[in-house]
Each structure stands twice: as C-alpha cells, then as structure tokens.
Amino acid sequence: MIEPRASEGIAVVTGASSGIGEAAALQLSAAGFHLVLIARRRDRLEKLQSKLRKSGGPADIICSDLSQEESFSAIADKVKNIGSPIEVLLNNAGFGWYGFGDEMPWSVAKDMLAVNVQAVTSLTLQFLPEMKRNNRGHIINVGSIVASIPSQGVALYGATKAFLDGFTTSLYRELVSTGVNVSVVRTGAVRTLFFNKVALQPESGVIPLQGLAVRPETVARRILELLKKPRRAIYVPRLLWVVPWIEMYFGWLIDRLGPRMLRSSRF
Ligand SMILES: NC(=O)c1ccc[n+]([C@@H]2O[C@H](COP(=O)([O-])OP(=O)(O)OC[C@H]3O[C@@H](n4cnc5c(N)ncnc54)[C@H](OP(=O)(O)O)[C@@H]3O)[C@@H](O)[C@H]2O)c1
C-alpha cells in the first residue's frame, strides 16, 4: 500500500490536462502526493497546477509531446531533478481512432504507437529501477476493455491497449513479493474529451457503448483504491469482468456481427 511520505512522494501523471488524468491528479494531490503533470496543452496544465497549489499540494508541470521520442528521457531527467522519490507513475496519456483499420493514416498510427505504447514503455523503464531500489512504488497503466475483446473499428488502438495488458502482467509477476506494484486499469467508456477527438477522425460515427460512459472521477477513485489495495488488473465499471468471458464464448458471433456494426455506425 502506497501512502505518500508527507508531500515527498512524487506522482507522475501523463495526460493530466483533461479527463481521467486530470481527475486522478486532483485525487492524488488530495491524498498528499507531489504531482508532476504532463501533457501538451500548457494552459490547461497551468490552470490545474494553480488549483492544486491553492489547496496546498505541490505540483510541477512538464509540457511535452509524447509522440516525440526525445520527450521521454527529458521527462525522466526533469522528474529526477525534483529530488524526491517517485512513488506513482500513472501512464494515462493516450488517444484512439475509429474506423476500418486499413483506412488509418500512417501518421496517426505512428503517433498512436508512440503515445500509447512507446511512452509507457520508456517511462516505465526509466522509473522502475528507482522504485525497485527503494522497494516502493506503483506503476498504473490506463488500458481499455477493448484489449479484452478485440473490436472492429479500433484495430490498432485495441492492440496498443492489449500491449499494456501483457506488459503489466509480466512486470507484475516479476515484482510479486517486492514493495513495487504494476497494475492495469481496464476501463469501458468514460465521459471525457476522448470521444470528441475520436469523432473528429474522418468518416467516424457513433461509437458503440458511448452512451454507457462513466465519469472520469469514478475511474480516478478506483485508481486511488488501487494504491491502497494493489491488484494486477481492475475493471471500471466492475461488471466489465465478464467481457473476457464474452470474447471466449461468443467471439465467433462477434466475428460475424462486427463488420456490420462498424458499417452501420458510420455517418
Ligand atoms: N474515454 C474513454 O472512453 C476511454 C476508455 C478506455 C480507455 N481510455 C484511456 O484513458 C486514457 C485517458 O483518456 P481520456 O478518456 O481521459 O481522454 P482525454 O480527455 O482526451 O485525455 C487524454 C490525455 O492524453 C494526453 N495526450 C494525448 N496525446 C498526447 C501527446 N501526444 N503528448 C502528450 N499527451 C498527450 C492529452 O493531453 P494533451 O492533448 O494536452 O496533450 C490528455 O491529457 C487514454 O489512455 C485512453 O486510451 C479512455
């Protein structure tokens, strides 16, 4: 269980400028962590930083584009310069794209691999050794339920989240019986700007399950619970634990309906 050491422990949150990252940053700050907020939109990061500072929480911002590989080591250097131990790494930044897999422009695919996969890998590799030395820390990767049920329309996005599932599980097993934890949060739809951005992609339409979305604060609360009671994976909402079983027993049916659902969801 990670309890911050009186404003000493650092919690790094990628994608802190909106949605789940912003909600988690607010709750981590209230729990006593020193926040390091990472994203591209400086105005939003500064607004959040001053909000956290007003309520007494130390917070730094790193304005950085995670699609650019040089950002990864620059972030690690800046965090290490703060001089406090890193206790939480919330790998949350990510984005999606909806449509037939073959219609995805390579420029988007390349950025998605960088943000959703490479940034997570690089930051994990750079911070995990320190956590192991301190025998203390928790890396939390924000995954997705589509990793458990590979779905039409999100071929690459789902694959990036499946990577997080595998990466998390292997590291978790390597770290069992140490003071360091690694977890993946498998969320269903969450009411954030995520869908606005996805919908901006050419010819995308209504995304299935968008109407059942939970609030980002709900995901943030579950992330804070995870710090208190570490587990390898959690589902938000909880009932999504059935999804891997649906894939196992009804995958054959989805194979037949999937393409039709994707076609009918286009404008
Ligand atoms: N919303 C959902 O339904 C849902 C479902 C399952 C999983 N998720 C996952 O939840 C995570 C958070 O998404 P969200 O729903 O909270 O959506 P969001 O409000 O759009 O937040 C995405 C965050 O990622 C950051 N980001 C994106 N590209 C970046 C880049 N190139 N460099 C740095 N930061 C970047 C954004 O910051 P800037 O734009 O300021 O850079 C923003 O802070 C993502 O990993 C997403 O895949 C979301």
Binned average pLDDT, 10 residues per bin, the chain of 267 residues? 61 98 98 97 98 96 97 96 96 94 95 98 98 97 96 94 98 97 97 74 58 91 97 96 94 84 60
Q: Is the CB of 115 under 6 A from ligand 1?
A: yes
Edge-first strand listing for the sheet containing 180-187: 59-63, 34-39, 10-14, 86-91, 137-142, 180-187, 233-236
Give the pLDDT of residue 129: 97
131 CA distance to ligand 1 middle (Å): 25
DSSP run (H or E) holding 10:
strand 10-14
Q: How many Å lie between the centroid of ligand 1 and the Cα of residue 194?
A: 6
So what's the pLDDT on residue 231?
Answer: 96
**CA proximity to 19, closest of 41, 52, 50:** 41
Asked whether 20 lines ligand 1 (CB < 6 A), one says yes
Question: Rounded to an integer, what distance in angstroms lies between the CA atom of residue 141 and that of residue 227?
Answer: 12
| Residues in CB range of 245: below 8 A, 6 or more apart | none
With a 6 Å cutoff on the Cβ, whether 197 touches ligand 1 is yes
Annotate 151-215 with DSSP letters as a single string: -TT-HHHHHHHHHHHHHHHHHHHHHTTSSEEEEEEEE--BSSTHHHHHHTSTT--PPTTGGGPBP
Rounded distance, CA 110 to CA 255, Å? 27
Nearest CA to ligand 1 atom 1: 190
Answer whether 190 contacts ligand 1 (Cβ < 6 A): yes
Ligand 1 contacts CB of residue 19 (under 6 A):
yes
Q: Which of 44, 190, 197 most suits a substitution to test ligand 1, by most atoms within 8 Å of the C-beta?
A: 190
- Report the 10 Å Cβ neighbour count for 213: 17
- 230 DSSP β-pair partners: none
CATH architecture of the region 10-264: 3-Layer(aba) Sandwich (3.40)
Cis omega (within 30 of 0) on the bond before 230?
no
Give pLDDT, residue 242. 95
Instruction: Return d(Cα 11, Cα 89) in angstroms, integer.
Output: 6
Nearest-CA residue for atom 5 of ligand 1: 189
Beta carbon of 41 within 6 Å of any ligand 1 atom: yes
- Indicate the domain borders of the chain: 10-264
List 157, 172, 235, 249, catalytic entry: 157
Q: Token pair for residue 241?
A: 């634990």
**Atom number, ligand 1, closest to the C-alpha of residue 16:** 43
Q: What is the pLDDT of residue 194?
A: 82
Return the residue whose CA atom lies nearest to atom 8 of ligand 1.
144
Q: What Rg value do the Cα atoms of the chain yield, rounded?
A: 18
- Ligand 1 in reach of 17 Cβ (< 6 A): yes
Tell me how far CA of residue 55 lies from CA of 25, 42, 119, 171, in angstroms: 13, 20, 30, 35
Residue nearest to atom 6 of ligand 1 (CA): 144
Active-site annotation holds for 157: yes
Annotate 149-166 with b (16+ C-beta within 10 A) or e (fewer): bbbbbbbbbbbbbbbbbe
pLDDT at 79: 96
Q: Which residues, in sequence order, are bridge partners of residue 184?
A: 141, 233
